[in-house]
Chains A and B, each alone.
Chain A
Amino acid sequence: MKNILYIIILLSIISCSQEVEKLPILGNKEEINGKMVYHEVGDFHFIDQDGNPVTPSTFEGQNYIVDYFFTSCPTICPKVKKQELRVYEKFKNNDKLGYLSVSVDTKYDTIQKLKWYADKLNIHDKKWKFVTGEKDHIYKVAESFFHVAMDDKTAPGGFNHDGRLILVDKNKHIRSFCDGTDPVDVDRFMKDVENLLTEENE
């Protein structure tokens, strides 16, 4: 009896003092010449709601959150945007965090339409880019963003319908992702974002 009590106390101490681990780097990794090489998101060139080009250098020295959407989406996109706004509100004053919302509807979502959408969402912030680009390019880049999240490529609708938010750090590594329609998962994601931002401050 006494022994069991000891074990329980010991266990609770161990589990209490467990430290928060550094956010992992997600995706494939490979050891090359004794050095770990991690998956990096590919290069991209898009155009944002103000007609400006957006490339990886736009986010230089910044972490950013990526999602795929389209402005006329009647299903899950509004819910994802609602959650993304929650993340945005929380980290609004942090200049080390940007946002990249990529439209998959290259036909309908013109620069003007993206501008309209950003306005309607009440986003007037250079940190949040709503972008379009060439269709093939958008889909190709998506693979490199959603690489870790796409375990089920056969899911109906594919990545453009799964509503994920992906966290990319300033070294182009994917550090976390969540289901943008699920407030609980987004809560966890926000903690990951917080960890990444404090990790970098150290």
Chain B
Amino acid sequence: MNRLLLIIFTVLLISIVSCSTKGFKRGKILYDAYCSDCHMNDGSGLEGLFPPIDNSDYLKTHKLDLACIIHYGLEGKIKVNGKEYSQKMNGFPKITESDIANIVNYINYKFLGDEEYVNIKEIKEMLSNCDEVIE
């Protein structure tokens, strides 16, 4: 009886631990695959060509736009951490909403030091309000 309890307890513990890091794991894989070519694995960007994600002041004030930026891309002059950027970023319409959530959560956690967790419903809401971002 005691043993059974122990096993159940262990399984629960493992699943809790793995659940809480899982999103970031997949988010990291997706970020590395889709975003790191330009923004670099460490989010540092490339001089005046590609803006940094890591500690980006632009992103901090545009957090709710991140899903739209991933889906539709970004165009026009922007200023990130004091530097101007004007190249166009193409969107990734093929990335699903749940994977956008994974990327957003990874970026929030890794590059903005923010543990806040965004779910698919919130991503959907963000994506239905993209008009201003695209202009």
Binding site for B on A (CB under 8 A): 74-76, 78-79, 81-82, 85, 117, 119-122
Contacts and interface: CB of A to CB of B under 8 A. Distances in A.
Nearest to B50: A78
5 contacts: A74-B90, A81-B46, A81-B49, A121-B46, A121-B48
A179 B44 CA distance: 20
Nearest to A77: B37
B22 to A, nearest CB: 27
**Interface of chain B, main secondary structure:** mixed
Contact of B38 (A74, A85, A119): A74
A76 B33 CA distance: 11
Contact of A79 (B40, B47, B48, B90): B40
A35 B41 CA distance: 48
What size tier do the contact residues of chain B reach? 10 to 19
A121 B49 contact: yes
A74 B37 contact: yes
Interface string B97-129: 000000000000000000000000000000000
A82 B46 contact: yes
Secondary structure type dominating chain A contacts: helix
A120 to B, nearest CB: 4
B37 A120 contact: no
Interface string B77-96: 00000000000001000000
Which 10 pairs from chain A and chain B are nearest by CB? Answer: A120-B48, A120-B49, A78-B46, A121-B47, A122-B47, A78-B38, A82-B46, A75-B37, A78-B50, A78-B37
Contacts of B48: 119-122
A37 to B, nearest CB: 41
Nearest to B37: A75
Given A81-B49, A120-B48, 20 more contacts: A74-B37, A74-B38, A75-B37, A78-B37, A78-B38, A78-B40, A78-B46, A78-B49, A78-B50, A79-B36, A79-B40, A81-B46, A82-B44, A82-B46, A119-B48, A120-B47, A120-B49, A121-B47, A121-B49, A122-B48
